[in-house]
Amino acid sequence: MQVDLHQSWSIGAVEIPTRVVLAPMAGVSVQAFRRQGRRHGAGLVCSEMVSCAGLHHGNERTLGYLRIAADEHPLAVQIFGSEPSVMAEAARMVADAGADIVDINFGCPVRKVTKTGAGATLLDDPARASAIVGAVASAVDLPVSVKMRRGLENGARTCLELGPRLVEAGAATLTLHPRSARQMYTGTADHALTAELVELVDVPVIASGDVTSRARAQAVLATTGAAAVMVGRAAQGNPWVLREILDGPAAEPSREEVVAELVLFMRETVRELGGRKAQGFLKKFYGWYLGRGRFPRQFKAELTQLDDLDEVERRLFAAAPGARFVLARLEQEQPDADEVTLDLPISIYGGG
């Protein structure tokens, strides 16, 4: 059975135009990544996880995660934390910033997060997890979604007990990445568990994990009954995979297209993070964009040695001169970020 990936669906009152969702990824899901994902067909994009404690303390860098561009919608902003009242306060800030959905992270397996009682730890504390969802759902008018793993330990089925409780507490959607926290990213995502969760709840379920192609997306949707698939690692430096999942096989992007998308991504990231921070942040993206046999290994390695982003651009254009024309078209087609970025009234949160 072929599922129509262009069919819209809803999270609460928010209409999601396609069944492909771009995953939240810390250190990746900047605004440039999300806007690019929307342009290439993602029906919903998500911010990386944002610390509710950072928002509470008015940390300027954390507040920066709440900058949303007008062409990102629909967009979920994901928050993490362990105190229901602080999570509720963070959710209100997310709503004020203009997000469409507040997403709660109950899946992060990284020690820095779990040792604070947040992320995946909450899978084993159903009372607190439900209290967080309840507090967030009462604090905002936006739909609330929860992203979780299967449980803490390998083979755990915790998500099947917790999921219905979270829906009862107010979750309008659940995203399941059916790996355990212990697994991190090893092994495979067990979507048999996603199918079981779909049977247990009456809200849409998003299936996350190992969706890398149209065939895989179709198989996951058909066998689980999930409302949508979420795509993470496969979209790193590869927005074209989103189109392929939606529309079927397409020609590989040309070298000119690859360079144009990368340079646009670099320029937007500089605007968002500032030049100095962007330099280091962008290095991993060179390999992601230029890999997959698109450019010689040596070329990628040379770029990562450079700190001067103008020099990186110069070398990219030298390797694919026609990219300038593709880039000009892309820049013309999408509104300037400066025009669409909503001014976040940082001062009201004391963020400087």
Ligand X SMILES: Cc1cc2nc3c(=O)[nH]c(=O)nc-3n(C[C@H](O)[C@H](O)[C@H](O)COP(=O)(O)O)c2cc1C
Counting contacts by CB under 6 A, is residue 26 touching ligand X?
yes
Which region among 17-25, 51-59, 60-68, 244-252 touches ligand X (by CB under 6 A)? 17-25
Which phi-psi region, left, alpha or beta, contains residue 183 (left: φ > 0; alpha: ψ -120 to 50)? alpha
Which region among 12-20, 25-33, 137-145, 220-228 touches ligand X (by CB under 6 A)? 25-33
Counting contacts by CB under 6 A, is residue 244 touching ligand X?
no
Counting contacts by CB under 6 A, is residue 150 touching ligand X?
no
Task: Please say which residue, 222 or 318, places its beta carbon nearer to ligand X.
Answer: 222
Counting contacts by CB under 6 A, is residue 218 touching ligand X?
no
CA 119 vs CA 125, 134, 181, 202: distances in Å: 11, 16, 10, 24
Counting contacts by CB under 6 A, is residue 118 touching ligand X?
no
Task: Please say which residue, 175 or 327, places its beta carbon nearer to ligand X.
Answer: 175
Alpha carbon distance 331, 312 (integer Å): 19
Task: Please say which residue, 182 or 255, places its beta carbon nearer to ligand X.
Answer: 182
Counting contacts by CB under 6 A, is residue 177 touching ligand X?
yes
Among 49, 228, 246, 344, binds ligand X (CB under 6 A): 49
Are the beta carbons of 323 and 300 closer than 8 angstroms? Answer: no
Which region among 6-14, 22-30, 53-61, 251-259 touches ligand X (by CB under 6 A)? 22-30
> Residues with Cβ < 8 Å from 284, sequence gap 6 or more?
27
Task: Please say which residue, 147 or 294, places its beta carbon nearer to ligand X.
Answer: 147
Question: Which alpha helices (H) appear in the chain, and where do they start and end?
Answer: 31-39, 52-56, 60-64, 84-97, 111-114, 126-139, 158-169, 191-200, 214-224, 240-247, 255-273, 275-290, 297-305, 309-319, 323-333, 337-340
Residue 276 CB neighbour total at 10 angstroms: 11
DSSP bridge partners of 175 = 147, 206
Site for ligand X in 71-110 (CB under 6 A): 78, 105, 107-108
Among 72, 210, 244, 256, binds ligand X (CB under 6 A): 210
Structure tokens at 227: 């409302």
Alpha carbon distance 88, 82 (integer Å): 11
| Residue number, nearest CB to ligand X | 232
CA 202 vs CA 27, 171, 205: distances in Å: 33, 11, 9
Among 23, 207, 258, 266, binds ligand X (CB under 6 A): 23
Task: Please say which residue, 220 or 270, places its beta carbon nearer to ligand X.
Answer: 220
Which region among 159-167, 226-234, 279-287, 309-317 touches ligand X (by CB under 6 A)? 226-234
> Which residues are part of the catalytic machinery?
108
Counting contacts by CB under 6 A, is residue 147 touching ligand X?
yes
Task: Please say which residue, 119 or 134, places its beta carbon nearer to ligand X.
Answer: 119
Counting contacts by CB under 6 A, is residue 44 touching ligand X?
no
Which region among 131-139, 229-237, 276-284, 304-312 touches ligand X (by CB under 6 A)? 229-237
Would strands 14-16 and 20-22 be described as parallel, antiparallel, or unpaired?
unpaired
Are the beta carbons of 93 and 65 closer than 8 angstroms? Answer: no
Counting contacts by CB under 6 A, is residue 209 touching ligand X?
yes
Task: Please say which residue, 24 or 64, places its beta carbon nearer to ligand X.
Answer: 24
Counting contacts by CB under 6 A, is residue 133 touching ligand X?
no
Alpha carbon distance 123, 109 (integer Å): 11
Q: Give the footprint of ligand X on this chain (CB under 6 A).
A: 23-28, 48-49, 78, 105, 107-108, 147, 177, 208-211, 231-234
